[in-house]
Structure 1
């Protein structure tokens, strides 16, 4: 169960090598979290991440999980919940893709969509059902400001995040009053392995800053978190800009 301050004692990360997820795990471990499950494709990177977290004191387990294999999600995640209640599920997997390549190779574009949206829909629903069955817990989903309005420079990734964002908000509405808290997190450009080599966007942030925002959001039981907060205003302006103006912007 969560402690008196709303901090989770147990955490399940979907996307166990995500830099944002691991920064969040470290921050929560420093507070109260004592059991962590890292779900992801078996790899040395996943085991290394688990080892680094174990060094901080909690019990850390790994579980095989593949976003592109939704038929396995019920079984894989069911094994975690069978070991006891989970206070927080952090859905943190996703891929950026390469817009120019993905436009030329639709199969690549489909992989982005399947990972970021359909895989997340499956894992999100399985997790939500388990949280509802235990009667408490939070589901935190990493979306992106890119989902606010698809830009020509990354409309494949952006459209997948737009779908994920809408799904998460709808799921939160459906679960309202059940004891399950759903929160969508919308970071801007995050300095990480995924964005290495890309031109940095204004208001760029870090995995640690996103982790801090997630912790604050959990304490407040927020439904939407922007990182940094100034992006709420920026993206509102972009979202409402006339299309004739939007098309002329260098984005």
Structure 2
């Protein structure tokens, strides 16, 4: 895998954890249009993962799939280590996660735990493996997709939101631990994706698209940002909501 050691330049080699993620693939397409040439899509083997790799190859990238399961942390070091063994990686994008179904998950602790294990435990394991590999090579960026939902619990999605809150705190701490090592850690907090038939929990708050998040990620990499909100208007809004008294917060029409 080709390496580019000037971390301020557009990345040439990408490792995407969660290779069928719409945000991740939009980011890959955008970076391929710049200078990225090597992409590894990590995820559970599936026709969708292979199709995603094929689409990126059609854009001119050397795109291949890597078997990876967020729920199998004991295999993370082996699976991801093979990618880094091919050559240095300029950008790792941790984009896997599950939304779950709040109404169902509240009645099914096993399902709720699945959301937490995927979004938090799996991310902690994979994040640490990749962080150490990036540190060993002396450069690179680790971008972790958090969520605006992690800023404050909402009745409509507190199981998902709590898992993202844990991931967000972990990513911030990891960024502090790696400060000065040549490894750049960036936390991305997007709004809910805009889509037809959006559930009630998405009403009253800004929404976004995979392409908008991809644009923000590229800009954040260029600026060496540590935290990116998408859209940017979320930053002051969520800051205000975070400090709102609970009695008043419960009355807001945001789910």
What value does the CA root-mean-square deviation take over the aligned residues? 1.3
- Asked if 1:154 corresponds to 2:157, the answer is yes
Deviations 1:121-170 (A, max 9, x none): 00000000000000000000000000000111110000000000000000
The answer (yes or no) to whether the contact 2:150–2:161 under 8 Å persists in 1 is: yes
Structure-2 residue corresponding to 1:111: 114
What is the number of residues matched between the two proteins? 249
Q: Distance in 2 between matches of 1:84 and 1:73?
A: 17
The answer to whether the 8 Å contact 1:9/1:32 transfers is yes
CA distance in 2, matches of 1:100, 1:219: 40
- Are 1:2 and 1:9, in contact at CA under 8 Å, matched by a contact in 2? no
CA distance in 2, matches of 1:123, 1:49: 21
Give 1:124's aligned residue.
Answer: 127
Determine helix, strand or coil for the equivalent of 1:150: coil
TM-score by length of 1: 0.96
TM-score by length of 2: 0.95
CA drift of 1:85 comes to 0.1
- What does 1:1-251 correspond to in 2, within 5 Å? 1=4, 6-191=9-194, 197-199=198-200, 200-201=202-203, 202-250=205-253, 251=255
Hey, what's the Cα distance between the residues in 2 that align with 1:248 and 1:97? Answer: 24
CA drift at 1:3: 5.6
Find the residue that maps to 2:66 and give its secondary structure: strand
Instruction: Give ranges in structure 1 of 5+ residues lacking alignment.
Output: none
Aligned counterparts of 1:94 and 1:228: Cα–Cα separation in 2: 20
Q: State the distance in 1 between where 2:251 and 2:176 align.
A: 36
Secondary structure in 1 matching 2:45: coil
Compared CA separation, residues 71 and 233, structure 1 to 2 (3 A) = same
Mind listing any 5+ residue stretches in structure 2 that lack a counterpart? none
